[in-house]
Amino acid sequence: MRQLTITALVGCATWIGLSSWAVAAEDKKADNIRVVLIDGQNNHDWRSTTPFLKKELEETSRFTVDVSTAPLNKNDKKPAPEGSIAFPPDLNKYDVVLSNYNGDPWPEEFRKALESSLKDGKIALVIVHAANNSFTNWAEYNLMIGMGWRDNKFGDRLILDADGKEKRVPKGEGPGAGHGAGHAFQITVRDADHPVTKGMPHEWMHAKDELYHGMRGPAEHVHLLATAFSDKAKGGTGEHEPMIWTLDYGKGRVFHTPMGHDVEAMRCIGFIATLQRGAEWAATGKVTLPLPKDFPTAEKTSAIPAK
């Protein structure tokens, strides 16, 4: 393509504009953040959420997303979706691993590859919703995600008190992971200067979702960007629970949100922008993607239409 347009340049001045456009487009593609999304097992409907996550990332023109579907659970009789690349993926080809996976342990060699690539800052990790339920017995994974769906004896929990001050609840005290009934709830930004949350309203309404509470883990190097109040009237804890956080694992950046139970929750424009900006930040340490104009407000949810 590049050769063709350069040849065309010689004979025809009108090609100049077109050829520079073509080169620019190629360069842009070369600069794209390469994401590998891993799915194949989840107690959630990964067959519908994976294409949604891929589409929302690729629509920014900032990402290219390959899907790597791990061997299905033996009880899953539906066929694996088409178009998946081989599992496990070659991490050298990617900037970000996005996990939409909650299931059997990944092969040891791949686990070690992820540990070292992330530790060395060669790859980033993005965790969505039930991906944090996975791999309870993989110690390094628990360090990567900070906190996840674990019982209260597993590790510490982070909450914010009424003054917005972070509080560490030791293991054994208070509830373990859970959630009340699905409902729309308010997100409170706790670090308005971070590239991911910069410009977001201090409070914004997230569409109907599960509000995870009592998440447990080593909770080391966790930087809370946003929380949500878990209302006891909805089956929650009466505490401000972590909803968006980042974490350093060695030199590697991790972006984690427990939001995103299903496509309905993911259609929230706040969720989409958080995911896109979180993935960009994890890959590059910066955010160039602007916040959409129709971002939710403190009072009103805002979602893209259902298909």
In the bound state with Zn ion, the residue whose beta carbon lies nearer, of 39 and 210, is 210
* Burial readout 135-149 (b: 16 or more C-beta within 10 A, e: otherwise): beebebbbbbbbbbb
Q: Which is nearer to Zn ion, 56 or 210 (CB)?
A: 210
Number of helices (H), then strands (E), belonging to the chain: the values are 7, 13
Strands 63-69 and 33-39: parallel
Six-digit token string for 84 = 């998946």
- Find out whether the peptide bond into 296 is cis, omega within 30 degrees of 0: no
Question: What's the min distance (Å) between Cβ of 260 and Zn ion?
Answer: 8
Q: Which is nearer to Zn ion, 216 or 253 (CB)?
A: 216
Helices (H), 81-213: 108-119, 139-145
Nearer to Zn ion, 60 or 274 (CB): 274
Nearer to Zn ion, 16 or 181 (CB): 181
Question: 195 or 260: whose CB is closer to Zn ion?
Answer: 260
Measured from the CB of residue 130, what is the shortest distance to Zn ion in angstroms? 5
- Least Cβ distance, residue 76 to Zn ion (angstroms): 17
Three-state SS for 168? strand
Radius of gyration of the chain (CA): 20
CB of 217 to Zn ion, least distance (A): 18
**How far is CA 243 from each of CA 5, 60, 268, rounded to the nearest angstrom?**
49, 23, 14
Q: Which residue is nearest to Zn ion (CB)?
A: 261
Select 40 or 178, whichever has its Cβ closest to Zn ion. 178
Q: Is residue 261 a contact point for Zn ion (CB under 5 A)?
A: yes
Nearest approach in angstroms of CB 46 to Zn ion is: 11
Considering the complex, what minimum distance in angstroms separates the CB of residue 34 from Zn ion? 28
Nearest to 211 by CA among 188, 230, 190: 230
Length of the chain: 307
121: phi then psi, degrees, rounded to nearest 5: 75, 20
- DSSP per residue over 3-57, as a string? HHHHHHHHH-TTHHHHHHHHHHHHHHHHHSEEEEEEES--SS-HHHHHHHHHHHH
Binding region for Zn ion (CB under 5 A) out of 62-70, 208-216, 226-234, 235-243: 208-216
Whose Cβ is closer to Zn ion: residue 210's or residue 241's?
210
Sign of torsion over alpha carbons 166, 168, 173, 179: positive
Number of chain residues interacting with Zn ion (CB under 5 A): 2
Based on the shown chain and the rule CB under 5 A, indicate whether residue 213 belongs to the binding site for Zn ion.
Answer: no
Only segment of 3-11, 120-128, 207-215, 280-288 that touches Zn ion (CB under 5 A)? 207-215
Which span sits near Zn ion by CB under 5 A: 5-13, 113-121, 151-159, 257-265? 257-265
Q: How far is the CB of 227 from Zn ion (least distance, A)?
A: 18
Tell me: does residue 210 bind Zn ion (CB under 5 A): yes
Q: Does residue 209 touch Zn ion according to CB under 5 A?
A: no
For Zn ion, the closer of residues 200 and 266 by Cβ is: 266
Which tokens is 288 given? 């160039």
State the Cα angle at 154 between 148 and 155, rounded to 5°.
75
Binding region for Zn ion (CB under 5 A)? 210, 261
